[in-house]
Amino acid sequence: MHMETRPRRTGWVEYINKTDYVPRPEEVLFTTAPRDIYVEEGYDGDIPCITDDGRLDWFAHHPLAYPEEYQPSVKSRSYDIAFLELNVPGPTYLELPLQAEIIAALESGQYKVLAITAYTWMIPWALKLAERARRDYGIREVWLGGYGIMTPEPKIRQLFDRLFWGYAESTMREALGLSPMKPSQIEHPMLINESTYLAHKIKIGHLFWERGCTQRCTFCADPVFQPGGEGTFSVENVRRTLERYKEEGVVTVHLVNQDVRPFKDVGRQIIELLYEYGLPFTMMTSFLALTAKGHDGMKWLADKGLTMAQLGVESLDDTNLSKSLKTTNYDHISKTVRQMDDLRIRMSATYIVCFEDDTPESIHRSKRLLGDLGPIYTYFSILQPMPSTPQYYDMHKRGLINDWDFRKWTGGYLVWDHPTIKPDEAREIVRDMDLAINTPQYNQRLKREWQRISRMRERMHERGRAGYTLDMRARARVYYHPQSDAQLPAAEFSARSGIQTATTRTPTTA
Q: Give the number of other CB atoms < 10 A from CB of residue 243.
A: 12
CA angle, 347 as apex, 480 and 385 as ends, to 5°?
Answer: 125
Rounded Cα distance, 414 and 434, in Å: 17
Domain positions in the chain are 3-181, 186-451
Q: Which pLDDT does position 509 carry in this prediction?
A: 32
Give, for all 510 residues of the chain, the pLDDT tens digit.
Answer: 444 444 445 688 999 998 889 999 999 999 999 999 988 888 766 677 777 778 888 776 665 656 666 677 788 888 999 999 999 999 999 999 999 999 999 999 999 999 999 999 999 999 999 999 999 999 999 999 999 999 999 999 999 999 999 899 999 999 999 999 988 899 999 998 888 777 677 788 999 988 888 888 999 998 888 876 677 889 999 999 999 999 988 888 999 988 889 999 999 999 999 999 999 999 999 999 999 999 999 999 999 999 999 999 999 999 999 999 999 999 999 999 999 999 989 899 999 999 999 999 999 999 999 988 988 889 999 999 999 999 999 999 999 999 999 999 999 899 999 999 999 999 999 989 988 888 877 777 788 877 877 787 788 878 877 877 767 667 666 666 555 544 444 443 433 333 232 223 333 333
Name the maximum alpha-carbon separation found in the chain.
69
What ranges make up the beta strands (E) of 95-199? Answer: 113-117, 141-145, 162-165, 192-197
Q: What is the pLDDT of residue 5?
A: 47
The Cα–Cα gap between 364 and 212 comes to: 33
Residue 74 CA from chain centroid, whole number: 10
Relative to beta strand 377-382, strand 141-145 is unpaired
Closest CA to 353 of 407, 256, 420, 257: 420
pLDDT of amino acid 44: 67
CATH 3.40.50 fits 3-181, yes or no: yes
How far is CA 388 from each of CA 147, 208, 350, 396, rounded to the nearest angstrom?
10, 25, 21, 10
What is the tens place of the pLDDT at every residue in 419-436?
A: 999 999 999 999 899 888
Query: What pLDDT score does 357 carry?
Result: 97
Q: How far apart are CA 496 and CA 509, in angstroms?
A: 30
* Angle between the N-to-C axes of helices 330-342 and 294-304, in degrees from 0 to 180, rounded to the nearest 10: 40
Q: What is the C-alpha to C-alpha distance for residues 452 and 431, in angstroms, rounded to an integer?
A: 26
DSSP output for 9-64: SS-EEEESS-------GGGEEEE---TTTTTTTT----PPPB-TTS-B-GGGGS--
List the one residue out of 85, 81, 132 whose CA is nearest residue 105. 132
CB neighbour class for 162 (10 Å; exposed up to 12, middle 13-18, buried from 19): buried
pLDDT for residue 67: 63
Cβ neighbors of 369 (< 8 A, separation 6 or more) are 316, 330
Half-sphere exposure of residue 291: CA atoms within 13 angstroms, side-chain side: 16
Query: How many other β-carbons are positioned within 10 Å of the β-carbon of residue 248?
Result: 11
Residues 6+ apart with CB under 8 A from 349: 310, 311, 312, 313, 370, 373, 375, 377, 378, 379
Q: What contacts 76, CB < 8 A, 6 or more positions away? A: 55, 56, 57, 191, 193, 206
Q: Is-contact 362 419, C-beta < 8 A?
A: no
For residue 107, which of 152, 146, 137 has the smallest C-alpha distance?
137
Angle, alpha carbons 444-333-286 (nearest 5°): 115
Strands 73-75 and 192-197: antiparallel
Alpha-helical (H) ranges within 353-422 are 360-373, 390-397
For residues 46 and 61, what is the distance between their CA atoms, to the nearest angstrom? 8
What per-residue string of b and e applies to 302-315 under the rule 16 or more CB within 10 Å gives b?
Answer: bebbbbbbbbbbbb
Assigned CATH class of 186-451: alpha beta
Q: What is the pLDDT of residues 102-153, one digit of tens each?
A: 999 999 999 999 999 999 999 999 999 999 999 999 999 999 999 999 999 9
Task: Say how many residues make up the chain.
Answer: 510
The C-alpha atoms of residue 197 and residue 133 are separated, in whole angstroms, by 42
Distance in Å from the first CA to the final CA of the chain:
41
